[in-house]
Amino acid sequence: MKTSEALYAAADYIREHGWTRGTFSDNAGRVCMIGAIDRTTARAGHVAACMALANTIGDNIVVFNDYHCESGDDAIAALEIAADIAAAEGK
């Protein structure tokens, strides 16, 4: 799976299952950004997707998810922007 595909899949996962902060996942099945990447991506792709996302947001993913995102829409937008950049780079 390409990095862009992994990031789009993570965005779709949050769109379908919901977003949370302060935890990897909650009892309702909602996930943070890293949780969404983890649920949709194999281990090798997980590292590449996290690196691409961190480079795009310019911050630690956990900090960004927990303190900068105000909603799942913010998390989805960041994942999709990172995916767009990765796709433009052929990744």
∠ Cα 44 49 51 (to 5°): 100
pLDDT surpassing 90 at residue 74 = yes
Q: How far apart are the first and last CA of the chain?
A: 9
Note the pLDDT tens digit of each residue in 49-72.
999 999 999 999 999 999 999 999
Q: Do residues 34 and 22 make contact, with C-beta atoms less than 8 angstroms apart?
A: no
DSSP 71: S
Global pTM?
0.94
Q: Taking the CA atoms of the chain, what radius of gyration do you get in angstroms?
A: 12
